[in-house]
């Protein structure tokens, strides 16, 4: 790779990502004491593998990824269909199991659905940016999103599905979508949300919403996880109870403490200071992704970076929000921090693509 490309890369985004990984590993070490640190050891491997994959991805021109995205989109559509025929894990058919390794296609598909939608949007806008506002062409983009979205909902995995929606919405905003569509979307949401809640949502999804609104109504049942999480975060106060010393963490009251509620472990044992640091690092990564989108050399780079910023934003808000009882529990991981190989690899692929976009811009055309 040329020195000029390496010099242009936004290396701070790598530093912030690795800092989150380190905090996550410390929390995992504490949370897996009873299990012999098995997940902690695996996570170290996932972090190392993910960084290697990031290095490979950052050396690839992102436009090459966009060009081959129709093939990758098709491969992951097949994978999302195939996973529906696997045995459910924790009530969801989301993983392929190969020995001890679990592969979650919906996580990886996020990247390639985004790049494929960028491919389609670019084709639509070849005759002008306003082409995206033609109803049939906009419906084409939404239809191509709807296919993987429907397959993920069937698993069911509503949290990951929501991440796709947020990423696509931000990409469409970046592409210059007309404000009238935004207004109509808001109107439709207001109309459809109560209908979906009453007639479409399964009972377990309704329970999660009801528990979110009033967790004290079922403190030993559906509200248990939220209450224990809030207790853990509150008990940490400013500097935390210390690694290996958190009551909720070490006594097994938090579940699952290595994935969904890893932020609760950090809050209890490392306190407000480190918890705030986790939020700040996420905000810095998201801000830098938006900056890369703003300064990209072409529309493809801008749209991809916008979509990645949407993924990071959603995961941060949803995971941290649900651990504090501010949002319903959806099982969305905290990127770079929660245990999981699929999530870690996908996150660093996103970082690699952001580095690729930032490397290939020209400082003379930076947008002010």
Query: pLDDT per residue over 172-190, tens digit each?
Result: 999 888 888 888 888 888 8
Residue of 307, 311, 305, 312 lying closest to 354 (CA atoms):
305
pLDDT in tens, 100-122: 678 889 999 999 999 999 999 99
pLDDT of 368: 36
pLDDT band, residue 330 (cuts 50/70/90): confident
pLDDT in tens, 279-303: 999 999 999 999 999 999 999 999 9
pLDDT of 1: 57
pLDDT band, residue 362 (cuts 50/70/90): low
The answer to whether the peptide bond before residue 178 is cis (omega within 30 degrees of 0) is no
Over residues 155-165, the mean pLDDT reads: 89
pLDDT of 290: 95
Q: Which residues contact 17 (CB under 8 A, 6 or more apart)?
A: 285, 336, 347, 348, 351
pLDDT in tens, 205-217: 777 777 777 777 6
The sign of the dihedral angle between the CA atoms of 342, 345, 346, 347 is positive
Secondary structure class of 97 (helix, strand, coil): strand
Q: Distance (Å, rounded) from C-alpha 32 to C-alpha 276?
A: 23
| 58 in Cβ contact with 119 (< 8 Å) | no
Mean pLDDT of the chain, nearest integer: 89
Secondary structure class of 94 (helix, strand, coil): coil
End-to-end CA distance of the chain, in Å? 28
pLDDT of 94: 86
pLDDT of 189: 81
Q: Distance (Å, rounded) from C-alpha 322 to C-alpha 117?
A: 29
Q: Which of 64-68, 73-77, 155-159, 345-349 has the lowest mean pLDDT?
A: 155-159
């Amino acid at each position: 790779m040329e020195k000029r490309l390496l010099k242009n890369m936004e290396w701070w985004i790598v530093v912030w990502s690795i800092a989150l990984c380190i905090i996550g590993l410390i929390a995992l070490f504490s949370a897996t004491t009873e299990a012999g640190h098995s997940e902690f050891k695996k996570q170290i491997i996932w972090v190392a593998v993910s960084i290697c994959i990031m290095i490979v991805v950052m050396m690839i021109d992102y436009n090459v990824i966009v060009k081959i995205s129709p093939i990758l989109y098709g491969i992951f559509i097949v994978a999302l269909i195939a996973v529906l025929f696997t045995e459910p894990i924790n009530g969801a058919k989301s993983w392929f199991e190969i020995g001890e390794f679990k592969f979650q296609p919906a996580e990886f598909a996020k990247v390639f659905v985004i790049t494929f939608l960028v491919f389609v949007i670019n084709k639509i806008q070849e005759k002008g940016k306003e082409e995206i506002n033609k109803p049939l062409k906009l419906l084409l983009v939404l239809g191509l999103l709807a296919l993987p979205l429907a397959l993920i909902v069937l698993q069911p995995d509503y949290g990951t599905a929501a991440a796709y929606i947020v990423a696509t919405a931000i990409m469409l905003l970046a592409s210059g979508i007309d404000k009238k569509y935004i207004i109509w979307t808001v109107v439709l949401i207001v109309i459809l949300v109560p209908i979906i809640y009453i007639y479409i949502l399964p009972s377990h999804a309704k329970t999660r919403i009801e528990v979110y609104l009033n967790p004290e109504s079922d403190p030993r049942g559906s509200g248990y996880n939220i209450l224990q999480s809030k207790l853990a975060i509150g008990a940490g106060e400013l500097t935390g109870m210390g690694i290996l010393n958190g009551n909720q963490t070490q006594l097994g009251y938090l579940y699952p403490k290595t994935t969904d509620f890893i932020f609760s472990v950090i809050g209890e044992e490392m306190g407000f200071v480190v918890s705030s640091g986790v939020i700040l690092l996420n905000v810095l990564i998201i801000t830098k992704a938006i900056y890369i989108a703003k300064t990209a050399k072409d529309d493809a780079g801008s749209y991809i970076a916008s979509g990645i910023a949407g993924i990071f934003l959603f995961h941060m808000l949803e995971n941290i929000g649900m651990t504090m009882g501010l949002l319903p529990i959806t099982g969305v991981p905290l990127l770079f921090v929660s245990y999981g190989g699929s999530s870690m690899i996908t996150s660093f692929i996103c970082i690699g693509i952001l580095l690729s976009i930032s490397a290939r811009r020209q400082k003379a055309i930076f947008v002010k």
